[in-house]
Structure 1
Amino acid sequence: MLVLLRIPFAFLNESISFGHFNCYIQKRWKKPVNSAQTRLENRARDLQFDKLVRQIKKLKLILRLHELMSQRRASHTSVQLVSRWSNVVGLNVGVGSFIQKHPRIFEVYTHPVKRNLCCRYSQEMLGLIAEEAMVIRESEMVAVQRLKKLLMMSRTGRLNAHALWLVRTEFGLPDNFRASIINKYPETFRLVLPDTVELVDQDDSLPAAEVEKWRESEYKEKWLSEYETRYAFPIQFPTGFKIEKGYREKLKTWQRLPYLKPYNPSEANCIRTSGGIERFEKRAVGILHEFLSLTVENMVDIERLSHFRRDFNMTANLRELLLKHPGIFYISTKGKSLTVFLREKYAKGCLLEPNPVYLVRRKMLDLVLLQCRFTNREQPLEELNL
């Protein structure tokens, strides 16, 4: 006898839709992505470095505007023309409000003939720009030593001239460093091909890296053993950094790991081919540490740093390598590009060992941050409706 069972349609539909073997709607478990971008977003932030990057970005924008204004043949620059440069310099606010916020930087006046609104830089800001150029000229020998050390870190003793021009501000080089430094010291540098700088004076005595000074002080002042400090780096974790289980042991092992120093580029390939991948990566950390130590402000954009990867024989992903060592480097994501800092050189957003070029740039930054305070402006700015 055939028995018909009446199954409700809603229950049948539910069993079909949410069945375990329905291939159309089955949700599969996916392994969480552990990419460099994910780790960059989930890491512990350092608010002081991020705040400093935002401030420096504003200063760079102001200096870029000054560069564009100084390239004009005319003695005046209208506010309307400055508004057309917004996309060029990366200004994301109105020109009128930007000028109003920085009365210590800009002076607004009406042209006596054309009767249009014009702007110019204040004498105080122009004086600081001239002072920076003067300090860079006076620090010429220091810049020569920095450039010489960079070439000694290269595996061929050569570097691309355009890559050096991109980091001229970071290393305190003048804009015309080809004529003022390279051609001025033919016994040390020379130009080969159109865009390559070569080191002529190959010293037999290799210079000491900046981190070796810290190791010597740790060895003498804290009475640490040479085994603990011989290959170690200074570590300063950010506030809120979570130390996972077993991380301290791995870090201690890594600190004791021998590696080839930055000024021995000829033997780097031997280390990698002999199976020492960890030593090869630690050598890259040493090069990055020394590169940042040679800069004026101990920071650089990662995009500009990547131009030296091939010359320094660093095949590893720079961003992943920097993220592996949060106690040595810090990457700030503020702005259009990523900026990497050397942690040990900073305290509360200021350089611990300032140099003359940094001090002048700090004066510029302080002038930018003053904004509308302690200013007496006679010219009204109601006409700045751009």
Structure 2
Amino acid sequence: MSSKTKFLASFTKFPLHNLQQYRTIAKVRLKWVKNRSLDHIIDVQTDLKAACLIKDAIIRSPTGYLTSKSLLDSQKLLGLTVPTMRFIRRYPSLFEEYPHPKYPSLACFKLTQLGKMMQEMEMRVFEECEGDIVERLCRVLMMTKNKMLPLQSLHPLKWDLGLPDDFDRSLIKKYPDHFRVGFQEGKSRSRVPHEFPKGLRCTKEGESMDGRVSKVALHFSVHEDSRGIDPDSELMEKRLVGVLHEFLGLTIYKKTKRNYLRCLREELNLPHKFTRIFTRYPGIFYLSLKCKTTTVALREGYRRGRLVDPHPLARHRDKLYYVMRTGLIYRNKAADMLTHLNNVVDNVEDNAGEEESDEEEIEAGNEYYDSEAEIGSDED
């Protein structure tokens, strides 16, 4: 067997001779190439996410507005590559600027009429998808060692997992049979009962491609206790691919920031330098360096530059992004905008689906972009 090609055993607690059929995945050292379509999506959604975070902060504010002073140091928190004030002024259809009631020289920002209407639509989407959101959070918690996660690790993932802004106060309290919040070692943690909610499946079967290797079924059980597995074994690597595949599959956009996954390393029982797995399996995962951060995405979640199966919340966010891009045209004509918003966004999505991917073909070979050199250190 070649040193460059190894085979991974099926992850199961039963002996292999008891299985009627199993398949293996070949590891091939592959070239990492840019995918312009995915990079563009990540670039667009960076602005969309920042706008949503500002919108939610305005809604949380007891005054109903944010001052320019309170926004000055928020650029890094919002993940922006431009100053926050310059960013928020780009979208007058969503944010309205006006002088402070007591200090005229201090700029304030509130939601426009159209912004408020979009927020009401978002709340209806959350209500309609509440069952899916609960199941999504249950799945994440069931993947962890102790079926719990620190709330400070979940909060940065709200956008990616499609959780409402106040999930820790409303959603968790609404489902006491599913969740409870407690304190352990001074940290607030969200827990889930040991039994799954009705209808929640414990295993997942997915399909993936690894370069020139043909599609194979990837069987794994991400809910099994993995603490007894040798961390350097191929079995642990198979589990690692499965856990990361499962987690990314639970996100709305089938992607998240690499640093967010690092915050879950202990709870998910991941090895110290687990993110190197992304460059060893470039047919399954894609790493993007857009917007001065590293984002990891599931390739199978996208086709021709768009989500294969967009979540209702993702569709709503597409509409919100369209509102952001309209500028001043509909700022004072919110009702006119909403009457044809669905048709406009659907047409934009259809056109996007016709675009071909700008990604080069991935080929196996001796040339390989090392994860430390091209994708960034595992410690960044």
Q: What TM-score comes out, normalization by structure 2 length?
A: 0.66
**Contact 1:103–1:375 under 8 Å retained in 2:** no
Instruction: State the 1:149 CA deviation.
Output: 1.5
Q: Deviations over 1:74-132 (max 9, x none)?
A: 46656677567557646554677545543322334567886656543322222222322
Partner of 2:181: 191
Pick aligned residue for 2:283 from 327, 333, 336? 327
Partner of 1:150: 140
Structure 2 distance, partners of 1:193, 1:78, is 34
Pick aligned residue for 2:260 from 304, 308, 313? 304
Return 5+ residue gaps in structure 2 as ranges: 1-30, 334-380
Instruction: State the 1:302 CA deviation.
Output: 1.2
Verify: 1:124 aligned to 2:114, yes or no. yes
The residue type paired with residue 54 of structure 1 is D
Q: Deviations over 1:290-317 (max 9, x none)?
A: 1111112211111111122222221152
Distance 1:377 1:91, change over 3 A: farther
Distance 1:96 1:324, change over 3 A: closer
Instruction: State the 1:51 CA deviation.
Output: 1.2
Identity of aligned residues (%): 27
Matches within 5 A, 1:166-185: 166-185=156-175
Distance 1:279 1:370, change over 3 A: farther
**Contact 1:187–1:201 under 8 Å retained in 2:** no
The residue type paired with residue 262 of structure 1 is V
Pick aligned residue for 1:357 from 294, 297, 313? 313
Distance 1:92 1:281, change over 3 A: closer
Structure 2 distance, partners of 1:81, 1:178, is 24
* Larger CA Rg, structure 1 vs 2: 1
Query: Could you say what secondary structure the match of 1:234 adopts?
Result: strand
**Root-mean-square deviation (CA), in Å?**
3.5
Partner of 1:138: 128
The residue type paired with residue 161 of structure 1 is L
**Contact 1:190–1:197 under 8 Å retained in 2:** yes
Partner of 1:272: 230
Which is richer in helix?
1
Structure 2 distance, partners of 1:112, 1:179, is 31
Structure 1 distance, partners of 2:133, 2:180, is 16
Partner of 1:64: 53
Partner of 1:234: 208
Distance 1:236 1:355, change over 3 A: farther
**Contact 1:157–1:199 under 8 Å retained in 2:** yes
Verify: 1:49 aligned to 2:5, yes or no. no
**Contact 1:259–1:279 under 8 Å retained in 2:** no
Which is richer in strand?
2
Partner of 1:19: none
Return 5+ residue gaps in structure 1 as ranges: 1-41, 215-232, 238-247, 379-386
Distance 1:112 1:55, change over 3 A: same
Partner of 1:226: none
Partner of 2:221: 261
Query: Could you say what secondary structure the match of 1:168 adopts?
Result: helix
**Contact 1:52–1:349 under 8 Å retained in 2:** yes
Structure 2 distance, partners of 1:198, 1:79, is 38
Q: Deviations over 1:171-200 (max 9, x none)?
A: 222233233233332323233435223332
- Between the two proteins, the alignment pairs up a number of residues equal to 298
The residue type paired with residue 270 of structure 2 is M
Instruction: State the 1:322 CA deviation.
Output: 0.9
Q: Deviations over 1:191-230 (max 9, x none)?
A: 34352233324249982544x2x5xxxxxxxxxxxxxxxx
Partner of 2:20: none
